Structure 1
Amino acid sequence: MPIDPQDTLLAVQASLAQLSSLIVSYSFSAIGAVILLVVGYLVAGLAERSIFAGLGHIHGFDATLRHFFSKIVRYAILILVVIMVLGQFGVQ
């Protein structure tokens, strides 16, 4: 039973069309996730520096606690950002 080249060509074209639509849909999700990661990383750093500086203005506040609280805020924001990025890809 010979294989018809016309049928094969149509099947390949249909597969490529489906593949291109998948690539476009996932590329928008990936670009959004990268943007979200970058913005989240910047916001986490800004929040860390702000908390560190703000606690530094309190007279007698322990330096170790300044570092601790500022890092807690930073990593809490980063964890939320990672959860949001995973949600972008459909992980729940």
Structure 2
Amino acid sequence: MYVQVSTRPDITFVVEVLGRYLSNPGMQHWKVVKRAMYYLKRTKGYMLTYHKFDSLEIIRYSDSDFAGCQDSKHSTSGYIFMLARGTIS
């Protein structure tokens, strides 16, 4: 999870969803893990980029749903913070 939180916000959703099935993964979950690893291999040169701006405004976006998980009916929420048009959290 360190990779997705600190350096790869593009994989946050997949890691979060797969994390729900760590105790009892099925074949479909392993297929998604394999695809995620293949994606990481293909995009290993990707990096976070920050630009110089006069103002260091922090922007926050968030989203949530109510009982959206098909398996457990749990709610899900997420957020992203941006600084200088680059993701920081």
Instruction: Report the TM-score when normalising by structure 2.
Output: 0.27
Q: Which has the larger radius of gyration?
A: 1
Return the structure number with greater relative CO, CA threshold 8 A, min gap 6.
1
TM-score of the superposed pair, with normalisation by structure 1: 0.26
Looking at secondary structure, tell me which structure has more strand per residue. 2
Structure number having the greater helix percentage: 1
